[in-house]
Amino acid sequence: MNKYYGNVVLVTGASSGIGKAIAEYLAQKGYNVYGTSRKPQTAGGTGSLANGKTDEAASASAVKMLQMDVCSDESVKAAVEQVMAAEGELGIVINNAGMGIAGSVEDSSPEEVFLQFDTNFFGMHRVIRQVLPAMRKRGRGLIINMSSVGAVFPIPFQAMYVASKAAIEGMSGSLRNELRPFGIKVSMVEPGDTKTGFTGSRVFVKAGGTGSAYSKQSEKSIAVMEHDEKNGPDPIVVARVVGKIISRKNPPLCVAVGLQYKIMIFLKRLIPKALESFVVAKMYEG
């Protein structure tokens, strides 16, 4: 794999799911990978293929885990400084940390909406602000922001998650243009339904229970989502897409993961928004 941006990689939200798959995949490819988790993790140290270890086990142990809460300026700053103190550089940053809140717009409290954005959007912004000075000084770097195909489709009862991802896409496009003079590249990845722990860790708005006017409709819609997620591809598919982006000196702005999603996004450009909204609504009726 071409290491144009250097050998040191930081992957946020690397304790499970897509982030873990990305961190382990890149470690297996020979990158010096630091992963982060909101909760303290046992550091893996340097992996080895000795003693009968498989490639997967070795790559997992090669990922150095750091504690980072993306909702805390101090925590983000401390983790990035730890990487810089150990390595002296940071060439690739993969902003993957995130969470999902489900519920109707009406049932979502301002506090719940802020939590969604504080993690997915402002958390990403905190990391970007911390890593850019070193990248600018070095004159090279790559930032990959994890978006979602949900950012471009009006999925019911995922409005705040969709909105947070749409905000990421708007920021990433502007950031890419701002960083052109400094030799720093920005890309986004749009995974679709993927088989991860995200399904089980989804947060539901407090007002969305049986007393909500939307409860039955919401239950059916979320059941469709969960079925699709549980039957989705393994997160290694996303990790391989990230690997391809890293190998390119001039990476694309955005890559959707999966042929079906590429087709859906292409068709989206051809049909009226009202028809798109109707079709998506029918998909999640259950």
Give the per-residue pLDDT at 227: 84
Burial of 3 (0-12, 13-18, 19+ CB in 10 A): middle
- Whether the pLDDT of residue 29 is over 80: the answer is yes
Q: What is the domain partition of the chain in residue ranges? A: 8-283
Helix (H) or strand (E) holding 9, with range, is: strand 8-11
CA separation for the pair 150, 173 (Å, rounded): 17
Between 277 and 125, the higher pLDDT residue: 125
Which CATH superfamily, name and number, covers 8-283?
NAD(P)-binding Rossmann-like Domain (3.40.50.720)
Q: Mind telling me the catalytic residues?
A: 15, 147, 161, 165
Q: What is the pLDDT of residues 78-102, one digit of tens each?
A: 999 999 999 999 999 999 999 999 9
Q: What is the pTM of this model?
A: 0.88
Mean pLDDT of the chain: 89
